[in-house]
Amino acid sequence: MLSPRAPAPIPSRRRPLSISAPSPSPGRFSNSNSISFFSRGEEKRGRISWTRSEAMASDSCSAALTKLAPLEAILFDIDGTLCDSDPIHFSAFRELLQQIGFNDGVPITEEFYSANISGGHNDDLARSLFPDMDHAKAMQFMDDKEAMFRKLAPGQLKAVDGLHDLCRWIEGRNLKRAAVTNAPRSNAELMLSLLGLTDFFPVLVIGSECDRAKPFPDPYLKALELIGASPDHTFIFEDSASGIRAGVAAGVPVVGLTTRNPGKVLSDAGASLLIKDFQDPKLLSVLEEVKPVTANGQV
């Protein structure tokens, strides 16, 4: 039987797409120059207990982000960043790996998945998970896994909290943006469609369609080129160590989302700031600092 071996760090190409903005959610991000996550009523009910100073990221972590002013662009990973898709991927991997006798038929753990699979590119995962298997057969396994993901996603995929409010805020300031992922194009397009973000992203960059996928910088460098943005006025949202390393290698500060992976793992990979989701007050503080250019050209 095949048994798992912890892979070495996995080196984890594009089609322009272009939000039909979802209906507004009162009291969240607005299109005004001030930023508010919550309505006054929510604050009175204690939804936020942090003071503004407590919400500020530490100087050492946020310095790279505040130097981006005026903000020009934001790049997004998809899996685990726009949506909490890892539980769906984990379920598909666990079931299919058990079916073929991986690890002597013992189901993989979430810890194994996080350390050896999450954020990886399928070609690299096929080689690391199945070093003794014919590569074409290993890639067929990966294709079967992606098909299972697409079958499960419509009933299970959910946006990370605060995503659509942030998207409206981005649109109100006419910021450039792109989605950058190691997921297969069919998966990426499905997720964007389920999230209602197909038209929000003018550019979708797929790792396997670049010379090298994440954790190499190529996908993020390609995104910057396609949207005409400078790394000096751009930051990235990512949830995996692989993706964070890719962003750092591209010379772009990265905000890490702790949707599934431990904060220490993301910090060690080079994240400039860690947030729980897009409603995190630390993100509010950073967005106030970077002073993005608004739709009418004012900072």
pTM of the model: 0.78
Between the alpha carbon of residue 193 and those of residues 20, 55, 157, 163, 220, the distances in Å are 11, 33, 11, 14, 22
Partners of 275 in the beta sheet? 257
Q: Is 274 helix (H, G, I), strand (E, B) or coil?
A: strand
Question: Which residues, in sequence order, are CB contacts of 151 under 8 Å at separation 6+?
Answer: none
Please check whether residue 253 is in contact with residue 233, taking contact to mean a CB–CB distance below 8 angstroms.
no
pLDDT tens-digit readout, 181-191: 999 999 999 99
Q: Which CATH number fits domain 40-83+158-290: 2.60.120.620, 3.40.50.1000, 3.40.190.10, 3.90.1150.10?
A: 3.40.50.1000
* Residues with catalytic function: 77, 79
Please check whether residue 202 is in contact with residue 16, taking contact to mean a CB–CB distance below 8 angstroms.
yes
Domain ranges for the chain, please list them. Answer: 40-83+158-290, 86-156
Tokens of 124: 């690299």
pLDDT band at 45 (very low <50, low <70, confident <90, very high): very low
Between the alpha carbon of residue 143 and those of residues 110, 140, 260, 285, the distances in Å are 21, 5, 24, 41
pLDDT band at 171 (very low <50, low <70, confident <90, very high): very high
Tokens of 144: 């079967």
DSSP 184: -
| Res 49: pLDDT | 38
Tokens of 232: 């000096």
| Res 294: pLDDT | 60
Angle, CA 231 vertex, CA 228 and CA 236 arms, to 5°: 100
Q: Beta 204-206 vs 176-181: how paired, if at all? A: parallel
pLDDT tens-digit readout, 86-123: 999 999 999 999 999 999 999 999 999 988 998 888 99
